[in-house]
Amino acid sequence: MRPNSANGKEQAHELIDRLAPSQVPAVVGMLEALLEPVSRAVANAPEDDEPETEAERRAVAGSKEWFKRRRGRGIPHEKVLAEFNLAPHRAKQRKR
């Protein structure tokens, strides 16, 4: 016998009520990911099984060498935003 939607939601609520407060954010994040279509699509996407090309291998090696020369430091977020003439507060607004 398959439980109906209402019973399933009641069970979910009961389980959430039993969680420690520190566990709630993880469950909220999981539920948001289940409901957000892009995350769901990425989670259900097939594994990339194409062989890596020589060009891709060279690109990865080049990026590792770039980071090595910079002692593992990337480009600060603010500098990237400035390159595109964006202010940090405007970038956050665009996400929505």
pTM of the model: 0.40
**Residue 21 one-letter amino acid:** P
**pLDDT tens digits along 50-66:** 999 999 999 999 999 99
Residue 29: band (very low, low, confident or very high) from pLDDT cuts 50, 70, 90 = confident
**pLDDT tens digits along 81-90:** 999 988 877 5
44-to-31, 70, 73, 85, 91 alpha-carbon distances in Å: 15, 36, 33, 35, 28
Tokens (6 digits) for 19:
């969680």
| Contacts of residue 45, Cβ cutoff 8 Å, sequence gap at least 6 | none
The whole-angstrom separation of Cα 77 and Cα 44 is: 30
pLDDT at res. 1 = 41
- Residue 60 or residue 3, greater confidence: 60
